[in-house]
Amino acid sequence: MIIDCHGHYTTAPTAHNEWREAQLAAFAAGEPTPAYPDISDDTIRETIEQNQLKLLTERGADMTIFSPRASAMAHHEGDERISIEWTQACNNLIKRVVDLYPETFVGVGQLPQSPGASIDASVAELDRIVNELGFIGCNLNPDPSGGLWNSLPLTDKYWYPLYEKMVELDVPAMVHVSASCNANFHATGAHYINADTTAFMQFIQGNLFKDFPTLRLIIPHGGGAVPYHWGRYRGLADMLKKPALADHVMNNVFFDTCVYHQPGIDLLVEVIDNKNILFGSEMVGAVRGIDPTTGHYFDDTKRYIDAAKISEANKSAIFENNARRVFPRLDAILKARGL
């Protein structure tokens, strides 16, 4: 079975997105948030069946770990109340997709982070999405400011209540920034990749996994720059008098396969232990075109794994087993179905 660990609802219904605009306009005007619109099941079906479900089927995957559109989380917009409202609306919409296609989609939620706010609302929402909505993980924004980077590193105690809740619920987080309001950083071309690299280096500098030995964090987009610079990171850990990365970080950190060409994937599977790699595509996401050098979609990452020179057992681990290990609640769902 093939599980895509990284899918966002980038094609959410227009009414949902318009409500967000209305919400932010009301906030700016000092008015109450308008009521959330009625969105029919058919509308949701249309957005999914023409996009993620169609592509997933065509490309031969079975299941997507599905979360709200990352670039639209925009934790820097409005204030904490606005972020809570928007987050709940987005997560509830994911729940509807999961309920319509339970065989194909399983939910991961965004968190109501807000610059300068405490992490408490995120802890509460994580509890809600896991215990009430049946989600299996969350997306954690390491820079809720949207490119100003004025919050605390992920190793700071500020984040610990969330990590405690994650450990308690046995759910992982994907470390994923949102839109950039900094003109220096293109969102998907710089901010995303920079955040991945930054998070990994924070984990090297800190001792987070001594405090949380079972905490699991997925760094998307193939780990940012990290595998390409694996020698640098091994060397920096050494210079900082940290244990080897295998012990210090790599029992807890995982990379997805959102790397949109064969040589990148080949490097990833060569350099990073197989147990740390999860299949992901982020399809209908940052890069939606066809690679003229291959004639296939850039984000059809399954093709690259299929072509990688690794064993079938290692491919199965990337496609399925690692995701089931990192997301135990997904494993439980699948086992209950006899899968």
Residues serving a catalytic function are: 282
Our finding on whether 182 is near its own copies (CB under 8 A) is yes
Cβ atoms < 10 Å from Cβ of 197: 19
Our finding on whether 336 is near its own copies (CB under 8 A) is no
Nearer to its own copies, 84 or 269 (CB): 269
Our finding on whether 116 is near its own copies (CB under 8 A) is no
Nearer to its own copies, 289 or 338 (CB): 289
DSSP strand pairing (105-107 vs 290-291): unpaired
Out of 4, 143, 256, 320, name the contact with its own copies by CB under 8 A: 143
Residues 297-326 contacting its own copies, CB under 8 A: 298-299
Q: Which stretch binds its own copies (CB under 8 A): 16-24, 58-66, 130-138, 176-184?
A: 176-184
Nearer to its own copies, 33 or 188 (CB): 188
Residue 170: which region, alpha, beta or left (left: phi > 0; alpha: psi -120 to 50)?
left
Task: Report d(CA 96, CA 87) in Å as an integer.
Answer: 14
Residue 175: name the closest of 225, 219, 212, 110 by CA.
219
Nearer to its own copies, 27 or 228 (CB): 228
In whole angstroms, the minimum distance from the beta carbon of 96 to its own copies comes to: 29
Out of 30, 289, 295, 338, name the contact with its own copies by CB under 8 A: 289
Out of 39, 181, 271, 333, name the contact with its own copies by CB under 8 A: 271
- Residue type present at position 213: P
> Residues binding its own copies: what is the number (CB under 8 A)?
56
* Cα angle for residues 298, 91, 65 (degrees, 5° grid): 40
In whole angstroms, the minimum distance from the beta carbon of 329 to its own copies comes to: 30
In whole angstroms, the minimum distance from the beta carbon of 200 to its own copies comes to: 8
In whole angstroms, the minimum distance from the beta carbon of 182 to its own copies comes to: 6
Phi, psi of 242 (to 5 degrees): -95, 160
127-149: b or e for each residue (b if 16 or more CB lie within 10 Å)?
Answer: ebbbeebebbbbbbbbbbbbbeb
DSSP strand pairing (296-297 vs 290-291): antiparallel
Our finding on whether 186 is near its own copies (CB under 8 A) is yes
- Quickly count helices (H) and strands (E) in the chain: 15, 10
Our finding on whether 230 is near its own copies (CB under 8 A) is yes
Our finding on whether 193 is near its own copies (CB under 8 A) is yes
Residues 232-251 contacting its own copies, CB under 8 A: 232-236, 238-239
Our finding on whether 185 is near its own copies (CB under 8 A) is yes
Structural element, H or E, at residue 18: helix 14-29
Q: Are 191 and 180 in contact (CB under 8 A)?
A: yes
* Cα angle for residues 93, 75, 185 (degrees, 5° grid): 115
Both tokens assigned to 268:
């990833």
The separation between CA 86 and the C-alpha centre of its own chain, rounded to angstroms, equals: 17
Where along the sequence are the contacts to its own copies (CB under 8 A)?
142-143, 147-149, 151-153, 182-186, 188-190, 193-194, 197-198, 201-202, 204-205, 221-222, 224-225, 227-236, 238-239, 259-261, 263-264, 266-267, 270-271, 286-289, 291, 298-299
